[in-house]
Amino acid sequence: MEVDRYAVFGHPVAHSLSPRIHALFATQTGEGLSYEAIEAPRDDFAGTARAFFAAGGRGANVTVPFKGEAMELADDCDALAARAGAANTLRLEADGRLTAFNTDGIGLRRDLECNLRCPLAACTVVLLGAGGAAAGVIEPLLTAGVARLVIGNRSPDRAAALASRFADLGAVTAMPVSELPPADVLINATAASLDGAVPELASGLVHARTFAYDMVYAARPTPFLTRCRELGAARAADGLGMLVEQAAEAFFIWRGVRPETAPVLAQLRPQADSAEPS
Ligand code: NDP
Protein backbone atom coordinates (compact mmCIF):
# COMPACT_ATOMS: atom_id res chain seq x y z
CA MET A 1 0.00 0.00 0.00
CA GLU A 2 1.30 3.50 -0.91
CA VAL A 3 1.74 5.70 2.14
CA ASP A 4 2.48 9.42 2.39
CA ARG A 5 6.19 10.18 2.83
CA TYR A 6 7.65 12.52 5.44
CA ALA A 7 11.24 13.10 6.56
CA VAL A 8 13.53 15.10 8.81
CA PHE A 9 16.46 16.88 7.14
CA GLY A 10 19.59 17.73 9.09
CA HIS A 11 23.36 17.44 9.18
CA PRO A 12 24.05 15.27 11.07
CA VAL A 13 20.69 13.56 11.49
CA ALA A 14 21.45 9.88 12.16
CA HIS A 15 20.70 10.15 15.90
CA SER A 16 17.40 11.96 15.43
CA LEU A 17 14.47 10.64 17.48
CA SER A 18 11.94 12.17 15.07
CA PRO A 19 11.42 8.99 12.94
CA ARG A 20 10.61 7.06 16.12
CA ILE A 21 8.29 9.81 17.41
CA HIS A 22 6.33 10.07 14.15
CA ALA A 23 6.11 6.27 13.83
CA LEU A 24 4.52 6.19 17.30
CA PHE A 25 2.14 9.03 16.36
CA ALA A 26 1.15 7.21 13.15
CA THR A 27 0.42 3.95 14.97
CA GLN A 28 -1.53 5.76 17.69
CA THR A 29 -3.71 7.74 15.23
CA GLY A 30 -3.98 5.12 12.46
CA GLU A 31 -2.50 7.54 9.91
CA GLY A 32 -0.73 5.77 7.03
CA LEU A 33 2.63 7.44 6.57
CA SER A 34 6.35 6.79 6.43
CA TYR A 35 8.98 9.04 8.04
CA GLU A 36 12.73 8.85 7.46
CA ALA A 37 15.88 10.76 8.42
CA ILE A 38 17.70 12.32 5.45
CA GLU A 39 21.18 13.81 5.86
CA ALA A 40 21.47 16.66 3.36
CA PRO A 41 24.94 17.87 2.38
CA ARG A 42 25.76 21.11 4.18
CA ASP A 43 25.90 22.95 0.86
CA ASP A 44 22.78 21.47 -0.74
CA PHE A 45 19.79 21.43 1.57
CA ALA A 46 17.59 23.03 -1.10
CA GLY A 47 18.48 20.48 -3.80
CA THR A 48 18.00 17.53 -1.44
CA ALA A 49 14.65 18.80 -0.16
CA ARG A 50 13.40 19.62 -3.68
CA ALA A 51 14.28 16.09 -4.84
CA PHE A 52 12.35 14.65 -1.88
CA PHE A 53 9.21 16.66 -2.68
CA ALA A 54 9.54 15.94 -6.43
CA ALA A 55 9.59 12.22 -5.59
CA GLY A 56 6.29 12.45 -3.67
CA GLY A 57 7.31 13.76 -0.23
CA ARG A 58 4.36 15.43 1.54
CA GLY A 59 6.10 17.21 4.39
CA ALA A 60 9.35 17.54 6.29
CA ASN A 61 10.93 18.59 9.53
CA VAL A 62 14.13 20.58 9.32
CA THR A 63 16.82 20.71 11.98
CA VAL A 64 20.33 22.10 12.53
CA PRO A 65 21.78 23.68 10.42
CA PHE A 66 19.03 24.16 7.83
CA LYS A 67 16.20 26.04 9.61
CA GLY A 68 17.08 29.33 7.92
CA GLU A 69 17.44 27.72 4.50
CA ALA A 70 14.04 26.08 4.96
CA MET A 71 12.55 29.58 5.09
CA GLU A 72 14.30 30.52 1.85
CA LEU A 73 13.07 27.36 0.12
CA ALA A 74 9.42 27.86 1.08
CA ASP A 75 6.95 29.91 -1.00
CA ASP A 76 4.91 30.95 2.06
CA CYS A 77 5.29 30.79 5.82
CA ASP A 78 3.25 31.22 8.99
CA ALA A 79 3.66 34.27 11.23
CA LEU A 80 5.82 32.49 13.85
CA ALA A 81 8.35 31.33 11.25
CA ALA A 82 8.37 34.74 9.55
CA ARG A 83 9.22 36.56 12.77
CA ALA A 84 11.79 33.96 13.86
CA GLY A 85 13.43 33.79 10.43
CA ALA A 86 13.64 30.03 10.92
CA ALA A 87 11.38 27.08 10.08
CA ASN A 88 11.38 23.51 11.38
CA THR A 89 8.38 22.21 9.40
CA LEU A 90 7.56 22.22 5.67
CA ARG A 91 4.25 21.19 4.10
CA LEU A 92 3.61 20.57 0.40
CA GLU A 93 0.31 22.18 -0.63
CA ALA A 94 -2.11 20.82 -3.25
CA ASP A 95 -0.95 23.46 -5.76
CA GLY A 96 2.71 22.41 -5.36
CA ARG A 97 3.75 25.35 -3.21
CA LEU A 98 5.73 24.81 0.01
CA THR A 99 4.63 26.40 3.29
CA ALA A 100 7.06 26.80 6.22
CA PHE A 101 6.12 26.71 9.92
CA ASN A 102 8.01 27.01 13.20
CA THR A 103 6.64 24.70 15.91
CA ASP A 104 9.61 24.91 18.34
CA GLY A 105 8.09 27.64 20.51
CA ILE A 106 4.70 25.94 20.69
CA GLY A 107 6.53 22.75 21.69
CA LEU A 108 8.48 24.49 24.45
CA ARG A 109 5.39 26.18 25.83
CA ARG A 110 3.32 23.00 25.88
CA ASP A 111 6.13 21.14 27.60
CA LEU A 112 6.62 23.81 30.26
CA GLU A 113 2.99 24.70 30.90
CA CYS A 114 1.17 21.38 30.30
CA ASN A 115 3.68 18.56 30.90
CA LEU A 116 5.85 20.17 33.57
CA ARG A 117 3.19 22.39 35.18
CA CYS A 118 5.49 25.42 35.07
CA PRO A 119 3.25 28.47 34.57
CA LEU A 120 4.90 31.25 32.60
CA ALA A 121 2.48 34.11 33.23
CA ALA A 122 4.02 36.93 35.28
CA CYS A 123 7.40 35.16 35.46
CA THR A 124 10.85 36.58 34.80
CA VAL A 125 12.13 34.31 32.05
CA VAL A 126 15.81 34.35 31.11
CA LEU A 127 16.76 32.88 27.74
CA LEU A 128 20.40 31.89 27.19
CA GLY A 129 21.42 31.83 23.50
CA ALA A 130 20.52 33.77 20.39
CA GLY A 131 20.59 31.15 17.64
CA GLY A 132 17.73 29.60 15.68
CA ALA A 133 16.25 27.77 18.67
CA ALA A 134 16.13 30.95 20.76
CA ALA A 135 14.55 32.93 17.91
CA GLY A 136 11.83 30.31 17.51
CA VAL A 137 10.64 30.43 21.12
CA ILE A 138 10.56 34.18 21.87
CA GLU A 139 7.12 34.98 20.45
CA PRO A 140 5.33 32.05 22.17
CA LEU A 141 7.04 32.98 25.47
CA LEU A 142 5.93 36.61 25.16
CA THR A 143 2.36 35.67 24.29
CA ALA A 144 2.29 33.40 27.37
CA GLY A 145 2.20 36.61 29.41
CA VAL A 146 5.66 36.56 30.99
CA ALA A 147 6.46 39.62 33.10
CA ARG A 148 9.73 40.06 31.26
CA LEU A 149 11.95 38.08 28.94
CA VAL A 150 15.69 38.75 29.15
CA ILE A 151 18.06 37.34 26.53
CA GLY A 152 21.74 36.76 27.24
CA ASN A 153 24.22 35.39 24.73
CA ARG A 154 27.96 34.78 24.49
CA SER A 155 27.98 37.12 21.47
CA PRO A 156 25.95 40.04 22.92
CA ASP A 157 25.19 41.69 19.56
CA ARG A 158 23.10 38.69 18.53
CA ALA A 159 21.03 38.91 21.73
CA ALA A 160 20.45 42.64 21.19
CA ALA A 161 19.37 42.05 17.58
CA LEU A 162 16.88 39.37 18.67
CA ALA A 163 15.42 41.53 21.44
CA SER A 164 14.83 44.44 19.08
CA ARG A 165 13.22 42.15 16.46
CA PHE A 166 10.53 41.11 18.97
CA ALA A 167 10.29 44.35 21.01
CA ASP A 168 6.82 45.29 19.72
CA LEU A 169 5.37 42.03 21.14
CA GLY A 170 6.21 42.60 24.81
CA ALA A 171 8.83 43.22 27.49
CA VAL A 172 11.92 41.66 25.90
CA THR A 173 15.43 42.99 26.46
CA ALA A 174 19.01 41.84 26.03
CA MET A 175 21.62 42.00 28.80
CA PRO A 176 25.29 41.00 29.16
CA VAL A 177 25.42 37.41 30.47
CA SER A 178 27.29 38.53 33.61
CA GLU A 179 24.40 40.87 34.54
CA LEU A 180 21.35 38.66 33.95
CA PRO A 181 18.68 39.02 36.67
CA PRO A 182 17.36 36.29 39.03
CA ALA A 183 15.27 33.93 36.86
CA ASP A 184 11.97 32.28 37.69
CA VAL A 185 12.43 30.22 34.54
CA LEU A 186 15.91 29.85 33.03
CA ILE A 187 15.99 28.34 29.53
CA ASN A 188 19.24 27.14 27.98
CA ALA A 189 18.87 27.56 24.21
CA THR A 190 22.62 27.46 23.61
CA ALA A 191 24.37 24.51 22.02
CA ALA A 192 26.87 24.39 24.94
CA SER A 193 25.51 21.13 26.38
CA LEU A 194 26.30 19.36 23.10
CA ASP A 195 30.00 19.99 23.90
CA GLY A 196 29.61 19.13 27.58
CA ALA A 197 29.99 22.83 28.44
CA VAL A 198 27.94 25.15 30.64
CA PRO A 199 27.24 28.73 29.51
CA GLU A 200 28.30 31.46 31.92
CA LEU A 201 25.73 31.78 34.74
CA ALA A 202 25.64 35.19 36.44
CA SER A 203 25.74 35.36 40.22
CA GLY A 204 22.16 35.27 41.55
CA LEU A 205 20.68 34.16 38.20
CA VAL A 206 19.77 30.75 39.66
CA HIS A 207 18.02 30.75 43.04
CA ALA A 208 15.78 28.54 45.17
CA ARG A 209 12.65 29.13 43.03
CA THR A 210 14.32 28.81 39.61
CA PHE A 211 12.98 26.28 37.09
CA ALA A 212 15.98 25.38 34.90
CA TYR A 213 15.23 24.02 31.41
CA ASP A 214 17.77 22.77 28.87
CA MET A 215 16.55 22.43 25.27
CA VAL A 216 19.11 19.67 24.81
CA TYR A 217 17.99 16.25 26.00
CA ALA A 218 20.05 13.33 27.22
CA ALA A 219 19.79 10.14 29.23
CA ARG A 220 21.55 11.83 32.15
CA PRO A 221 21.14 15.41 33.37
CA THR A 222 23.06 17.79 31.10
CA PRO A 223 26.00 19.76 32.58
CA PHE A 224 23.77 22.85 32.57
CA LEU A 225 21.04 21.16 34.60
CA THR A 226 23.59 19.66 37.00
CA ARG A 227 25.15 23.11 37.56
CA CYS A 228 21.73 24.70 38.12
CA ARG A 229 20.88 22.05 40.71
CA GLU A 230 24.20 22.74 42.45
CA LEU A 231 23.26 26.43 42.53
CA GLY A 232 19.99 25.53 44.26
CA ALA A 233 17.45 25.47 41.40
CA ALA A 234 14.07 24.15 42.54
CA ARG A 235 13.41 22.11 39.39
CA ALA A 236 15.29 21.02 36.28
CA ALA A 237 14.11 19.48 33.00
CA ASP A 238 15.63 18.67 29.63
CA GLY A 239 14.17 19.24 26.16
CA LEU A 240 12.75 15.80 25.33
CA GLY A 241 9.22 17.01 26.01
CA MET A 242 9.76 20.01 23.74
CA LEU A 243 10.96 17.67 21.00
CA VAL A 244 7.84 15.50 21.28
CA GLU A 245 5.49 18.50 21.50
CA GLN A 246 6.99 20.30 18.47
CA ALA A 247 6.68 17.01 16.57
CA ALA A 248 3.00 16.68 17.57
CA GLU A 249 2.30 20.18 16.23
CA ALA A 250 4.05 19.31 12.95
CA PHE A 251 1.99 16.10 12.72
CA PHE A 252 -1.18 18.15 13.21
CA ILE A 253 -0.09 20.62 10.50
CA TRP A 254 0.44 17.76 8.03
CA ARG A 255 -2.40 15.39 8.92
CA GLY A 256 -5.04 17.50 10.70
CA VAL A 257 -4.94 15.00 13.58
CA ARG A 258 -3.49 15.81 16.99
CA PRO A 259 -1.65 12.85 18.58
CA GLU A 260 -1.46 12.30 22.32
CA THR A 261 2.03 13.13 23.50
CA ALA A 262 2.13 11.69 27.05
CA PRO A 263 2.37 8.00 26.04
CA VAL A 264 5.00 8.79 23.41
CA LEU A 265 7.06 10.77 25.89
CA ALA A 266 6.82 7.91 28.39
CA GLN A 267 8.01 5.42 25.77
CA LEU A 268 10.92 7.58 24.62
CA ARG A 269 12.32 8.67 27.94
CA PRO A 270 14.48 5.55 28.46
CA GLN A 271 15.76 5.79 24.86
CA ALA A 272 16.79 9.45 24.97
CA ASP A 273 20.45 8.56 24.97
CA SER A 274 21.42 11.11 22.31
CA ALA A 275 22.01 14.81 22.71
CA GLU A 276 21.06 15.47 19.10
CA PRO A 277 18.18 17.88 18.43
CA SER A 278 15.06 16.66 16.61
P1 NDP B 1 22.60 27.69 16.79
O2 NDP B 1 23.87 27.12 16.27
O3 NDP B 1 21.72 28.49 15.89
O4 NDP B 1 22.93 28.63 18.07
C5 NDP B 1 23.81 28.19 19.05
C6 NDP B 1 23.74 29.14 20.25
O7 NDP B 1 24.50 28.56 21.31
C8 NDP B 1 24.35 30.52 19.99
O9 NDP B 1 23.64 31.48 20.74
C10 NDP B 1 25.77 30.35 20.52
O11 NDP B 1 26.36 31.57 20.95
C12 NDP B 1 25.50 29.49 21.72
N13 NDP B 1 26.66 28.68 22.18
C14 NDP B 1 27.24 27.64 21.54
N15 NDP B 1 28.21 27.11 22.30
C16 NDP B 1 28.25 27.85 23.46
C17 NDP B 1 29.03 27.79 24.63
N18 NDP B 1 30.00 26.87 24.79
N19 NDP B 1 28.80 28.69 25.62
C20 NDP B 1 27.83 29.63 25.48
N21 NDP B 1 27.05 29.73 24.38
C22 NDP B 1 27.26 28.84 23.37
O23 NDP B 1 21.81 26.45 17.40
P24 NDP B 1 20.24 26.35 17.67
O25 NDP B 1 19.79 27.64 18.23
O26 NDP B 1 19.54 25.83 16.48
O27 NDP B 1 20.16 25.19 18.79
C28 NDP B 1 20.55 25.45 20.14
C29 NDP B 1 20.30 24.21 20.99
O30 NDP B 1 18.90 23.95 21.12
C31 NDP B 1 20.92 22.98 20.40
O32 NDP B 1 21.66 22.37 21.43
C33 NDP B 1 19.77 22.10 20.01
O34 NDP B 1 20.07 20.75 20.27
C35 NDP B 1 18.65 22.57 20.92
N36 NDP B 1 17.29 22.42 20.34
C37 NDP B 1 16.40 21.56 20.92
C38 NDP B 1 15.11 21.43 20.42
C39 NDP B 1 14.13 20.50 21.08
O40 NDP B 1 13.07 20.23 20.50
N41 NDP B 1 14.42 19.99 22.26
C42 NDP B 1 14.65 22.18 19.24
C43 NDP B 1 15.65 23.08 18.71
C44 NDP B 1 16.93 23.17 19.23
P45 NDP B 1 27.09 32.56 19.90
O46 NDP B 1 26.00 33.38 19.28
O47 NDP B 1 28.01 33.35 20.77
O48 NDP B 1 27.82 31.68 18.92
Alpha carbons 105 and 89: distance in angstroms, whole number: 12
131 CA from centroid of ligand 1 (Å): 6
Is residue 66 within 8 Å of 37, Cβ to Cβ?
no
Q: Which residues are catalytic?
A: 67
State residue 266's pLDDT score.
95
CB neighbours (10 Å) of residue 216?
Answer: 25
> What CATH code would you report for 4-102+241-277?
3.40.50.10860
Number of alpha carbons in the 13 Å side-chain half-sphere of residue 135: 22
Mutate to test the pocket of ligand 1, among 190, 193, 238 (most ligand atoms within 8 A of CB): 190
When the pLDDT of each residue in the chain is averaged and rounded to a whole number, the result is 95
The pLDDT score that the predictor gives to residue 269 is 86
When pLDDT is cut at 50, 70 and 90, the band that residue 274 belongs to is very low
- 105-238 matches 4-102+241-277 in CATH topology: yes
Count CB-CB contacts under 10 A for residue 95: 6
pTM of the model: 0.95
271 class by beta-carbon count within 10 Å (0-12 exposed, 13-18 middle, 19+ buried): exposed
8 Å CB contact between 124 and 142: no
**What's the CA-to-centroid distance between 275 and ligand 1, angstroms?**
12
Among 215, 269, 278, name the best residue to mutate to test ligand 1's pocket (greatest count of ligand atoms within 8 A of Cβ): 215
In the reported structure, the alpha carbon of residue 189 is separated from the centroid of ligand 1 by a whole-number distance in angstroms of 5
Report the amino acid identity of residue 122. Answer: A
Q: Which residues line ligand 1 (CB under 6 A)?
A: 64, 104, 107, 129-134, 153-155, 158, 189-192, 194-195, 197, 199, 215-217, 239, 242-243, 246, 277
Fold topology of 105-238: Rossmann fold (3.40.50)
Ligand 1 centroid–CA 208 distance in Å is 26
Q: Does position 68 have pLDDT exceeding 70, yes or no?
A: yes
Break the chain into its structural domains and give their ranges. Answer: 4-102+241-277, 105-238
Write out pLDDT tens, residues 143-162: 999 999 999 999 999 999 99
Question: Contact at 8 Å (CB) between 83 and 143?
Answer: no
